[in-house]
Amino acid sequence: MLIHNVTIFTNDENNTVLHDQAAVIQGTRIAAVGKSADLQHQYPNSEQIDGAGRLLMPGFTNTHMHFYGMYARGMSLNATPHNFHEILIHLWWALDKVLDDEAVYYSALLPAISAVRHGVTSMIDHHASPNACAGSLDQIEQALSEIGVRGLLCYETSDRDGKAIRDAGLAENERYIRKCSKAKAQNPDHLFDGMMGLHASFTVDDETLEKAVAIANYLDRGCHIHMLEDYVDETLTQEKYGRSVVERLAHFGVLGKKSIAAHGIFLDDNGRKLLTDSDTIVVHQAQSNMNNAVGRADIFALLNSGVTVGLGTDGMSADLRREIMTGYLMHKHTASDNNLGWVEYEQMAMKNNPAIYQRLTGQKIGRIAVDYLADLILVDYFPPTPFTGDNFWGHFLFGLIDADVNTTIINGKVVMHDKMIAGIDEQAIAARSRVVAKRVWDSYHTG
């Protein structure tokens, strides 16, 4: 397939922008990038997409998501939560208990559609459905594969619902990682992979950490866990387990270069050092933190000490661009510093997020260059001012941030073209999802 008549933002180290270009996709990967006329001459028999002067760039990666959060949309709560712990008790830990297999499937399907519309081509999800745990990651995989979105999945193991459900969580992660390893042995470009999911230090017992890390190490994966999203994680961890959160995670081997710690709001110098020394990935999500009013992670101190920090949406939406803009403005506003965040947000959104996905799965995404996976988007962006690699980030924040995505290609497959996702009836899917939501909400309200 040849996509011609486009401006290309390659997202390489120099932010190279190329005009009047084309890209050739063979199978799942990018086979050539060059002048439109040259490649049309060289590949005369290829299927062609006329980009009509649009911008071709790599799709976005969302590095911390909860698909099942969709079923909280519009739901009335049984009680008004007054702090983060109460938000977990009255909303998330009550909602996740009433999800069934069909709810898990639809809660991934609709955000996957939204992701494609917003140019997000790969997602790292953290899932919970304690009474529909076995096979839940297959339900999510099924939904993502019907749309064609790339995903790195895990189940959030916790002791909060007892040992049997804890064991089911560990088993689901192990089963799914093995399934993906087998698929990737046949096809390294397989759309899915798994890692070991854990809820958060304050709901995971020592024995569970030991078991989870043993499985993860044996299967050569890392852990995906919430860390210091609220200070309650620290106080309850100290109270129950007699250590600080980061020291405890380090002690049990949860930290490491293949592990994700989401949030990290209440880190001290020692915690930052342990994360830096272990090369643990930290994922930041400003929208969620503002929504829960839990504070602001010092991403600048983390980045300065060499931690790879990425951006996620934490279930707020599938769209990464809204997270980028919100977080960028939040840090400036809160710190009263108009210069804050420009370089860091570009680094996290454009470079770190795909690098995190690559580190965890071995799949090369996030760049338009030969041999990279063809996860690409064509955006309706026709720059009204001179557009170069040097000023890309200015164009991004003040123009590209809400430009329509015309075409989304994932793993070499055209998932959406001219804003149409072939093979799905979105209205029918949403209608069925509302039936499922009614069942889920009724169960939530009757407890």
Q: How far is the CB of 312 from Zn ion (least distance, A)?
A: 7
Q: Do the beta carbons of residue 71 and residue 99 sit within 8 Å? A: yes
# residues near Zn ion by CB under 5 A: 1
Among 314, 319, 323, 344, binds Zn ion (CB under 5 A): 314
| Stretch of residues binding Zn ion (CB under 5 A), selected from 55-63, 96-104, 308-316, 376-384 | 308-316
Q: H-helix or E-strand containing 346?
A: helix 342-346
**Dist CA 403 CA 345 (whole Å):** 18
The set of residues, in sequence order, having a beta carbon less than 8 Å from that of 16 and lying 6+ positions away, is 9, 10, 389
**What mask, x for binding Zn ion by CB under 5 A, covers residues 262 to 301?**
----------------------------------------
Window of 10-18, 27-35, 234-242, 306-314 that interacts with Zn ion by CB under 5 A: 306-314
The span of 145-153, 309-317, 335-343, 415-423 binding Zn ion (CB under 5 A) equals 309-317
Q: Which amino acid is at 209?
A: L
Q: Which is nearer to Zn ion, 193 or 314 (CB)?
A: 314
* 24 CB neighbour count, 10 Å cutoff: 21
Binding piece for Zn ion, criterion CB under 5 A, among 23-31, 33-41, 310-318, 386-394 = 310-318
230: contact with Zn ion by CB under 5 A: no
Query: For Zn ion, which is the closer residue by CB, 141 or 314?
Result: 314
Residues 151 and 109: beta-carbon distance below 8 Å: no
156 contacts Zn ion (rule: CB under 5 A): no
- For the bound state, the minimum distance from the C-beta of residue 429 to Zn ion, rounded and expressed in Å, comes to 25
Residue 234 or 314: which CB sits closer to Zn ion?
A: 314
Beta pairing, strands 420-421 & 281-284: unpaired
Mind giving me the DSSP string for 295-337?
A: ----HHHHHHTT--EEE--TTS-S-HHHHHHHHHHHHHHHHT-
Both structure tokens of 12: 């390489």
3-state secondary structure of 171: helix
Candidate segments 115-123, 312-320, 325-333, 335-343, binder of Zn ion by CB under 5 A: 312-320
Nearer to Zn ion, 8 or 227 (CB): 227
What are the structure tokens assigned to 19, written together? 């005009």
Q: Which is nearer to Zn ion, 174 or 314 (CB)?
A: 314
Q: Judged by CB under 5 A, which stretch of 15-23, 49-57, 127-135, 314-322 contacts Zn ion?
A: 314-322
For helices 136-147 and 101-117, angle between their N-to-C axes, nearest 10 degrees: 30
Task: Tabulate helix, strand, coil % of the chain (nearest 5).
Answer: 45, 20, 35
Q: Would you count residue 125 as binding Zn ion (CB under 5 A)?
A: no
- Residue type at position 50: D
* Binding flags for Zn ion, 72-111, as an x/- string (CB under 5 A): ----------------------------------------
Task: For the CB of residue 282, give the shortest distance to Zn ion in the complex, in Å.
Answer: 13
Nearest-approach distance from CB 359 to Zn ion, in angstroms: 19
Nearer to Zn ion, 263 or 367 (CB): 263
For Zn ion, give the closer residue by CB, 289 or 408: 289
Query: Going by C-beta distance under 8 Å and a sequence separation of 6 or more, which residues neighbour residue 396?
Result: 346
Q: Given the complex with Zn ion, which of 136 and 408 has the nearer CB atom?
A: 136
Contacts for 427 with CB less than 8 Å, ≥ 6 apart: none
User: What is the number of the residue whose Cβ is closest to Zn ion?
Assistant: 314
Residue burial 141-154, b: 16+ Cβ < 10 Å; e: rest: bebbebbbbbbbbb
For Zn ion, the closer of residues 33 and 261 by Cβ is 261
Burial class (CB in 10 A: 0-12, 13-18, 19+), 373: buried
CB of 189 to Zn ion, least distance (A): 28
Q: Which is nearer to Zn ion, 314 or 319 (CB)?
A: 314
Q: Given the rule CB under 5 A, which residues bind Zn ion?
A: 314
